[in-house]
Amino acid sequence: MTDEKYDLFVIGAGSGGVRAARIAAGYGAKVGIAEGRDMGGTCVNRGCVPKKLLVYSSKMPREFEDAKAFGWTQSGAVHFQWPDLIRNKDREIARLNKIYDDLLGKAGVTVIRGYARFTSAQEIEIEGQKIKADKFLIAVGGHPHKPDIPGSEHMITSDEAFHLPALPENIVIIGGGYIAVEFAGIFKGMGSHVTLINRGKSLLRPFDEYLRENLAAEMGKQGMSLHYNCEPVKIEKKSDGFHLHTSQNTVLVCDAVMAATGRTPNTETLGLQAAGIVTGSAGKIKTDKENRTNIAHIYALGDVANDHNLTPVAIEEGHALADRLFGGKPDRYIDYDTIPTAIFSRPPIGTVGMSEAQARETGATLEIYESAFRPMKNTMSGRDEKSYLKLIVDKNSRRVLGAHMLGEDAPEIIQAIGIVLKMKGTKEDFDRTIGIHPTAAEEFVTMRTPRV
Ligand code: NDP
């Protein structure tokens, strides 16, 4: 087989790798990319995209329920078919896979299907094909991690949750992070009985307390069963389902156990040792500000290297790297400050900037504004779900240090507020902005009395 030599060879066609490859090729570089699984990586195939499609589906039953208060009734019963949802979701993802393929093709990137492995710092091998490049980029992402307990082979993870043959009637979710609360909301919305066990004393450890407490309260109101300071001990498969034994000496019987306990970088089969690449904590590849590993011409970005594990961060890292390496933009770096993020829980969270606890650690004197209210739609439907907004303000500089929301449309609203924080906006900037009435978002510009 012919040896190829590229200017840049990217390993992994996920969010970060595809962006870096396309942009570099656009600058005229000879670029190749290897992908052993599905085009688009975790986000498109086993993450953000299918998750959001399932979230949409899980919200439909309450729309049917709430519709009555707005004058709508239906004559026949409404039925949910999980296989229809999964089939339609898969069709949508296949469409996106093709778009990724087309984008790379149009950009002139050579796509090689297969898993790549370094044979040395200068060469990789993909299914027997040897490839050399001036620069390599590792953008291979990660995979779900399962707690190492007896019976862990019975656990599913988010990977399998997207392909279950049927909706579980009774599911136990282990973890209290992004994926645990999102899937708890998805399965609950579709009608499963949901139990969540979390080894900590509250959900979503690094997030603002106000969001964490109120999310737990809202999840409880919906009938989800939340257990804290509770760890899985072992799982047994019995005739009536799986028996999950916990550290609290309880046994939870269910038809699915899902681990949502973090993700591990996909570095095991990459041949990092052959290339001399050093990994750090939890197997992540160590990189510097340039996204450079300890080997000068090998770069890494996205979930395999950074601590953010967010698609838009990986995309931006890939774009900036290609700009610096091939676009004549040596000063193009990504700004990791105030990255907005969302959790598509039930209700969803949008958050940007510091939590109150983080802001207090800076020593600044703070003003804290909070607001909890029942959104207009819920007053008419009678649904007992509130929205919660919070602003954290530096009392002296007046800068808004953090903006947090739990409630319908929070991710959409916080995306825009992220711009204000990026521009170092002050509380007075919020105050002199006229609200849009009637919306939930207007509350952000009408909060006048601080809690403290
Ligand atoms: P997270 O790191 O968010 O949460 C992991 C949870 O599992 C924590 O509650 C952690 O507890 C717990 N845990 C870890 N190990 C064990 C164990 N051995 N036994 C019991 N509990 C354990 O990871 P996720 O898997 O939820 O998500 C992975 C990443 O994916 C996130 O960091 C996020 O960046 C990204 N993601 C982003 C989404 C979005 O943007 N909407 C959606 C989904 C994922 P403790 O807190 O005590 O460590």
Q: Whose CA is nearest to atom 35 of ligand 1?
A: 309
pLDDT (0 to 100) of residue 302 = 97
Atom index in ligand 1 nearest the CA of residue 204 equals 9
Provide the token pair at 285.
């590849």
Q: Give this prediction's pTM.
A: 0.96
DSSP 8-state code for residue 283: G
Query: What is the CA(320)–ligand 1 centre distance, in A?
Result: 27
pLDDT (0 to 100) of residue 385 = 97
Query: What is the CA(448)–ligand 1 centre distance, in A?
Result: 35
Q: How many CB atoms lie within 10 A of CB 5?
A: 12
Return the percentage of the chain with pLDDT > 70, whole number. Answer: 99
Q: Is 311 in the pocket of ligand 1 (CB under 6 A)?
A: no
Angle between helices 178-190 and 209-221 (to 10 degrees): 20
Atom index in ligand 1 nearest the CA of residue 176 equals 9
Q: Is 343 in the pocket of ligand 1 (CB under 6 A)?
A: yes
DSSP 8-state code for residue 147: -
Q: Locate the domains of the chain by residue range.
A: 4-144+264-326, 152-260, 341-445
Query: What is the CA(76)–ligand 1 centre distance, in A?
Result: 41
For residue 281, which amino acid is it? S
Provide the token pair at 16.
């970060």
pLDDT (0 to 100) of residue 1 = 47
Confidence of residue 351 (pLDDT cuts 50, 70, 90): very high
Which of left, alpha, beta for 297 (phi over 0: left; psi -120 to 50: alpha)? alpha
Confidence of residue 76 (pLDDT cuts 50, 70, 90): confident
CATH T-level assignment (fold) for domain 341-445: Enolase-like; domain 1 (3.30.390)
Confidence of residue 452 (pLDDT cuts 50, 70, 90): confident
Nearest in space to 137 (alpha carbons), one of 309, 310, 293: 293
For 215-273, give the DSSP string: HHHHHHHTT-EEE-S--EEEEEEETTEEEEEETTS-EEEESEEEE---EEES-TTS-HH
- What's the rounded mean pLDDT across residues 148-176? 97
CA count, 13 A, side-chain hemisphere, 290: 13
Nearest in space to 271 (alpha carbons), one of 83, 138, 96: 138
Q: Give the position of tokens 């990319």.
A: 33
Q: Which CATH architecture has domain 152-260?
A: 3-Layer(bba) Sandwich (3.50)
Nearest-angstrom CA–CA distance, 77 and 83: 18
pLDDT (0 to 100) of residue 4 = 66
Q: In terms of CATH, what superfamily is 4-144+264-326? A: FAD/NAD(P)-binding domain (3.50.50.60)
For 71-134, give the DSSP string: T---SSPP---HHHHHHHHHHHHHHHHHHHHHHHHHHTPEEEES-EEEEETTEEEETTEEEEEE
Confidence of residue 5 (pLDDT cuts 50, 70, 90): confident
| pLDDT of 191 higher than 70 | yes
Query: What is the CA(377)–ligand 1 centre distance, in A?
Result: 32
Q: Is 178 in the pocket of ligand 1 (CB under 6 A)?
A: yes
pLDDT (0 to 100) of residue 35 = 96
The reply to whether 4-144+264-326 and 152-260 are identical in fold is yes
Nearest in space to 310 (alpha carbons), one of 35, 94, 47, 46: 47
Determine the length of the chain.
452
Atom index in ligand 1 nearest the CA of residue 260 equals 25
Q: Measure Cα distances from 434 to 403, 441, 452 in Å.
A: 18, 11, 24
| pLDDT of 37 higher than 80 | yes
Q: Nearest 5°: phi and psi at 277?
A: -85, 135
Q: Is 185 in the pocket of ligand 1 (CB under 6 A)?
A: no
Contacts 24+ apart (CB under 8 A), 226-231: 226/195, 226/196, 226/198, 227/195, 227/196, 227/197, 227/198, 228/198, 228/200, 228/201, 228/202, 229/198, 229/199, 229/200, 229/201, 230/197, 230/198, 230/199, 231/147, 231/197, 231/199
Nearest in space to 202 (alpha carbons), one of 222, 227, 184, 171: 227
Note if 437 is an active site residue: yes
- What's the rounded mean pLDDT across residues 241-266? 97
Question: By mean pLDDT, which of 46-50, 75-79, 246-250 is the weakest?
Answer: 75-79
